[in-house]
Structure 1
Amino acid sequence: MGYALEAVVARDEVVRAVSREVPGSHVVPLGQGLSLMPMTDEVFDAVTDGSERRDLGFWRLPGGFGTVLAQWSGTGPIAYVEAEFFGGVGEQRAAVWAGGSLVLGPLGELAGTPSSDAVSPVSQALRRLGARRGLHGDEFEAVGLDRHRSNDDWIAAAGR
């Protein structure tokens, strides 16, 4: 079974505030006071400027959305994360905006390839948002990003 995530992540109050501007958005609480807003087709259409460009090397970041994230980050640090894995192979990307500027990334990593013991891009972004790994293997697990395997699963969890 695979894992796929494309989402905005920030402190709960930040995600809730920005989600009010985005028709069809869903807010899903994570651990450590963070929440995520999955990038659905409806959210994508609501936040894109219509350009075809792939900002910052992400595969699902809408055209011009980096500018929107920079604006939203005036209320608190905000990340955009993507992760896709199947059978231990995949990749993840992450970037963080704060105070109107890109402050981390974009970071990318292929999973299942030889690499250093460096912290994954998503965990680095979560650290920048204040997450701590505690007794867990990394910040990804510590905030509960391993609880669901797709954006649809996250949205279903938001409805409970």
Structure 2
Amino acid sequence: MPYELQALIGSAELLAVAAAEVPVARLAPLSQGLALIPATPEFLAALGYQVGGAEGASDEEAGFDWLPDGSGRRLAAWSKAGPIACVEAFFFGGSGTQRAAVWVDGRLALGPLTNAEFAPFPPEGGPISRALRHLGARVEPARADGADYVDEFEAVGLPAHRSTARWASPS
């Protein structure tokens, strides 16, 4: 079963402010006080992304193909109120890619980090787990069922939905 995610992640309070600036944004809660805004076509259009646009529609600073030009400035502005991460993951059949970057105090502070298809995660973890750690996420000792969490990705609840669109759907 495939997994795909393109989203912004930050504290629930910070992303509530960001969502108020971009009314089409859907805020989805995660655990540990975090939330995400899925990068839906509507959200990206509100940020200035041209659906079906030119390949040059990425923000060079961040390296994300789906992030509209100039979005790094908006993320930098939001990050003055708290760290914010831009993340993407695409997995199918056990292989895939991850990318993450974090803005703090108005500047790109981490990344972009990329883990290519078929490459094992480094000892410090995958790009998204490292970004989540930068946001304050921690691996908790055990889940309600008594099993240990694997990493921050799992600990904050990112496996809950397998697609960006599903995160945007009201629960």
TM surpasses 0.5: yes
Equivalent-residue separation in structure 2 for 1:138 and 1:14 (angstroms): 23
Contact 1:97 1:104 in 2 (8 A): yes
Identity of matched residues, %: 47
1:57-112 deviations in Å (ceiling 9; x for gaps): 21211211111100111111100000000011110100000111111011000243
Q: In the alignment, what sits opposite 1:143?
A: 156
- CA apart distance, 1:49: 7.0
Matched, 1:5 2:5: yes
5+ residue gaps, structure 2 = 142-148
Q: 1:90 aligns with which of 72, 96, 105?
A: 96
Contact 2:28 2:167 in 1 (8 A): yes
Larger Rg: 2
TM-score in terms of structure 2 length: 0.86
Matched, 1:113 2:126: no
Contact 1:89 1:110 in 2 (8 A): no
TM-score in terms of structure 1 length: 0.92
Equivalent-residue separation in structure 1 for 2:164 and 2:121 (angstroms): 28
Letter in 2 for 1:71: A
Q: Could you say what secondary structure the match of 2:116 adopts?
A: strand
1:2-50 deviations in Å (ceiling 9; x for gaps): 0000000000000011100113110000010000000011111111376
Contact 1:70 1:102 in 2 (8 A): yes
Q: 1:54 aligns with which of 55, 58, 67?
A: 58
Alignment RMSD (CA, Å): 1.6
Q: In the alignment, what sits opposite 2:136?
A: 130
Equivalent-residue separation in structure 2 for 1:33 and 1:143 (angstroms): 9
Q: Could you say what secondary structure the match of 1:75 adopts?
A: coil
